[in-house]
A = this chain, B = another copy of it.
Amino acid sequence: MGLNIYLSGEIHTDWREQIVEGAAGLDVTFNAPVTDHAASDDCGVAILGAEPNKYWHDHKGAMVNAIRIRKGIADADVVVVRFGEKYKQWNAAFDAGYAAALGKSIIVLNPPEHQHALKEVHAAALAVAETPAQVVEVLRYVLTGALPAGQSAAAE
């Protein structure tokens, strides 16, 4: 068994790199949105023509980005959705809802202070983590059955 994983959400920290590096050696493939903020905002007008109106500037870009995002989520076995500490991050919650309706397994990664505001998103998740390392351990366990080093489990 291998897993295809889509890494959705916050683009300002290195959480994706931490997960990809932590998962080295596992039978996993990763996809993600374009994480270059400027390119992501401007891709529509840079390729398809300028728009004086900011709404359509954003709209053209969001639709081009949707080609990649939809493909990434549709192909995924697991969607990891990261909520950072700042910004509205409605695109992350949107991806979570989209993935939930497609029946994808969802792992949410968020700081504990967002717990109450994320309760509806958590209700659609199979795991809620606070650190990228926990996400890696979930993937490792799912693929190999191995628990984190130092954890002993006792059957009842």
A residues near B (Cβ < 8 Å) are 1, 3, 31, 34-44, 46-48, 51, 53-56, 58-72, 75, 77-78, 83, 87-103, 105, 107, 114-129, 134, 137-138, 141-143, 145-148, 151, 153-156
Given A138-B64, A147-B43, decide whether A94 and B56 contact each other with a Cβ distance below 8 A.
no
Number of chain copies forming the complex: 8
The interface residues of chain B lying within 8 Å CB-to-CB of A75 are: 1
Q: Measured between C-beta atoms, what is the minimum distance from A132 to chain B in Å?
A: 12
Label chain A's interface by main secondary structure: helix
Bound-state Cα–Cα, A102 to B116, Å: 26
Q: How far, in whole Å, are A51 and B51 apart by their CA atoms in the complex? A: 12
Structural contact, A65 and B120, CB atoms closer than 8 A: yes
What B residues does A95 contact at CB under 8 A?
Answer: 97
